[in-house]
Amino acid sequence: MGTYNLPRDVKGEGRILFIFSAKALVYTAIGGACGLPFYLIFSLLSMNVVGIIFIAIFGLIGFVIGTFKMPDSNNFKITQKTGGENIDDIIRRGIKFKMKKNRIYVYESDIEEDKEEETKDE
């Protein structure tokens, strides 16, 4: 008798606590760290609960950025171009674009000149 390899579901094995992938955990921690100054400010005003809410909101924003993908929809211009890509990749590309001073280099081709010459020849 031969041996057979049984496929198994390995999708969730790289996850921590069932919902956090390593990337999502890092982004959640970064988001929580961004909410930490708000916590410190509100703790000085004796409003610790409001500060904790800010940490949770920023952590949730970090989790969403690290986990979800841009929806693939034709309703908005940005979702037409970036649908199905990770949100953090889109943000990273946007930051790189801004760092290059919003320059897009477009090379003109001779296609338009060729079309004009063809219409003149006829």
Assigned token pair, 20: 């956090």
Of the two residues 82 and 14, the one the predictor is more confident about is: 82
Domain that holds residue 114: 72-122
Q: At what angle do helices 22-44 and 48-67 cross, to 10 degrees?
A: 160
| 78 in the same domain as 63 | no
| 76 in the same domain as 55 | no
State the average pLDDT over residues 27-38.
93
Backbone angles phi, psi at 109, to 5 degrees: -105, 170
| 89 in the same domain as 60 | no
Q: What is the pLDDT of residue 77?
A: 75
| 106 in the same domain as 82 | yes
Check: CB of residue 55 under 8 Å from CB of residue 30: no
The rounded distance, in Å, linking the Cα atoms of 9 and 28 is 26
Which helix (DSSP H) or strand (DSSP E) does residue 121 occupy? helix 111-121
| 85 in the same domain as 113 | yes
pLDDT score of 115 more than 70: no
Write the Ramachandran bin of 27: left for phi over 0, alpha for psi from -120 to 50, otherwise beta: alpha
pLDDT range class, residue 117, cuts 50, 70, 90: low
Residue 101 lies in a domain: yes
Residue 17 lies in a domain: yes
pLDDT tens digits, one per residue of 52-102: 999 999 999 999 998 888 877 777 777 777 777 888 888 888 888 888 777
> Please, what is the Cα angle at 11 between 10 and 12, to 5 degrees?
95
| 39 in the same domain as 24 | yes
Residue 2 lies in a domain: no
pTM over 0.85: no
pLDDT score of 31 more than 70: yes
Rg (CA), the chain: 25
SS3 15: strand
Q: What is the pLDDT of residue 116?
A: 55
Total domain count, the chain? 2
Residue 107 lies in a domain: yes
Residue 18 lies in a domain: yes
pLDDT score of 6 more than 70: no
